[in-house]
């Protein structure tokens, strides 16, 4: 709602939009620096990804390595990376969710988004 029914102050709207854009960029940079983990096989395989989903490291316990059964190891690796990515998505929602709600939930008065 615009107080008094007047026209929105375009300068103020632009400043709000610019601040939201800066906040979003800052949150995205923070996500790219933050690391989250995922594991599989009771911790036999651990994957670390950034909050933006980039795989940073993979640790495999020697007990998980069976030359006769590489399929299980591959499955554990995939599961650990998927778990890490799910944790990264949760982190993204926590960091970016409020900003996205601001953009999509009428966060800038007078604009239709």
pLDDT at 3 over 80: no
The residue behind tokens 């029914």 is 5
Closest CA to 50 of 95, 106, 89: 89
What pTM does this model have?
A: 0.68
Count of C-beta atoms within a 10 Å radius of residue 83: 19
With contact defined as beta carbons under 8 Å apart, do 47 and 84 qualify? yes
Q: Which of 7-11, 40-44, 46-50, 105-109 has the lowest mean pLDDT?
A: 105-109
pLDDT at 40 over 90: yes
With contact defined as beta carbons under 8 Å apart, do 90 and 50 qualify? no
């Amino acid at each position: 709602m615009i107080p008094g029914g007047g026209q929105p102050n375009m300068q103020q709207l632009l400043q709000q939009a610019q601040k939201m854009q800066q906040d979003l960029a800052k949150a995205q940079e923070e996500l790219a620096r933050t690391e989250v983990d995922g594991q599989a096989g009771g911790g036999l395989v651990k994957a670390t990804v950034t909050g933006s989903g980039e795989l940073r490291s993979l640790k495999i316990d020697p007990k998980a390595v069976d030359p006769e059964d590489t399929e299980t190891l591959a499955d554990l690796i995939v599961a650990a990376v998927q778990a890490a990515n799910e944790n990264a998505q949760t982190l993204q929602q926590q960091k970016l969710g409020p900003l996205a709600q601001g953009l999509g939930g009428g966060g800038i008065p007078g604009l239709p988004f």
